[in-house]
Chain A
Amino acid sequence: MAERALSLTAAGLAAAVILLLLTPLGALGLSLRGFSLSGAELAALRFTLWQAALSAGISVILAVPVARALARRRFFGRGALIATLGAPFILPGIVAVLGLLSVFGRAGWVNALWGALGFSPFSIYGLSGVVLAHVFFNMPLAVRMILHGWQAIPAERFRLAASLGFSPSAIRRHIEGPMLREVLPGAALVIFVICLTSFVVALTLGGGPRATTIELAIYQALRFDFNLPTAARLALLQFGLCAIAYVVATRISLPSGFGVGADRQGGPPAPTGWHRIADVLAITFAAMFLALPLLAVVLNGLPGMLALPSQVWAAALRSILIALGSTGLSVAVGLVLAMAAARGRGWPALAATLPLAASSLVLGTGLFLILQPYFRPASLALPVTFIINATLSLPFAFRILAPEACSLYVDYNRLSASLGLTGWGRLRWVVLPRLARPLGFAAGLVAALSMGDLGVIALFAGEGEATLPLLVQRLMGAYRMEVAASAALLLVSLSFALFWAFDHWGRRYAAS
């Protein structure tokens, strides 16, 4: 009975998500007849795919040694570092770009050091800049996802390996290899699709029209040419690419199936010698790469802090309420879909991945066309933002919950069934306690992302309903760059505080 209820709820939610994503395309007048791409669109497609593949590949490759080092070493500040890994991802695009430029730009710290050593300055603009920024955003996310994979390996497996005298390379082959085979394709998929829809970052650091992405072509079609069917066609192309990437990743990925453990504490063995040196280097490099641009964001934002206008507080409150609402919705839907996916079905995962490829501008415009005959757009600004943010962040909630929901089902389904634990009882005594860690992380990430998103509210917002990201944009538009940097710092701090609170709760709850 409970199984059927879960199945039906999941199917209903998946259908609702897909409907929400595709109906706007219809409203824009999507026509499939004569689907072809112009030369400029083909060039944009090539660049989009190439930069997304590079960004995903490099992020994941760099993330593995960092995640392994974090999994097997214990050091002062480890917890803080793991929490900070969530920070780059939640930075608003332009804020992160200015932070990165303070470090790597023409007038940045690295170039200053470089010049002092007598080298001629280097420029990051172009493909390298785009990939650098995408790796900065996404590598930490990959580290967190892979680290969860390491932590999900039962400690007994490592003990067994130790008692069998496994060398580090044998552990890699028999324990860590299968785990990576399960986790990496999903992590790479998520990053690839995120980078598919990159726009502000890709264009600003891309150095010119060579770095045109599909999302820019959508933007142009919607705003300058008012060619709605073209925008819908390109948005469909993004969904298509996402679906293909999803199928490829699913083919590559294999479930590892380590079986149940006894929840003993203890991570993977920590070999000494050069392994130790490599781990120290990996952690140092990652920490510097993440911390320097973040430090720049803080330094850019501090001077104008006292000049913050009074409206920021109302805007901040509005943003927090939207974020909390979106978080509840997104994590609940993510959990239902993850539990359905754990029963071996593929469609919940696809439905929960597609929003990654959604263009928020197309989504917003489509919804605007659908709702506007019946409602005043400004009266819908907040509900629409709330639902869109929840939908757009669903993929993250799902990706984080799915692997552990899957092991949970494999490992505990029979025990729960034999104890007659179903429905709420199972949720209360099995699911929530065992998924507390990923639930906390997922909720934190979704909350932080929902603080940052402004793609949709800009279309609906009327007078006096600004959220914090919109206010940052308004300040910049009024020449107030310094105060904008401070408002951005406030936004980042609040996002991070939300993220930290949820994530910390999850880890505490899981440990108790």
Chain B
Amino acid sequence: MQIQEIQEEIVDEFAMFEDWMQRYEYMIELGKSLPMIEEQYKTNDNIIKGCQSKVWVHAELNADKLIFTADSDAIITKGIIAILIRVFSNQKPAAIIEANTDFIDEIGLKEHLSPTRANGLVSMIKQLKLYAVAYQTQLN
């Protein structure tokens, strides 16, 4: 699926919930099912700065697509990463670089996170895109 389609799917899913407690419950479930990063990649180099809970992200190329794995010590944070990974993982670097992230505003994710978590979210997206830029350079 294209990034845009996945984003629309997520927006639809979030619209089904009545309140933010339900959305949190959903994010917690997503967090629990997050593709876990391998222990060897949980290094200081892979920690995303700007998150108050610890977040590790690892990226590797599979043919021409970028695969992200991640982990966090906080479960709601893991849920947020799980959403981002669903959108951006297994996509071509060029598509990741170009993708807009309007869906985050549409599902109201940012305004329902604490300011520190919202900053963390911005840092996470930036980091995923940075990985894409780095791997795109490799592909070129």
Q: A and B: partners?
A: no
**A interface list, Cβ under 8 A from B:** none
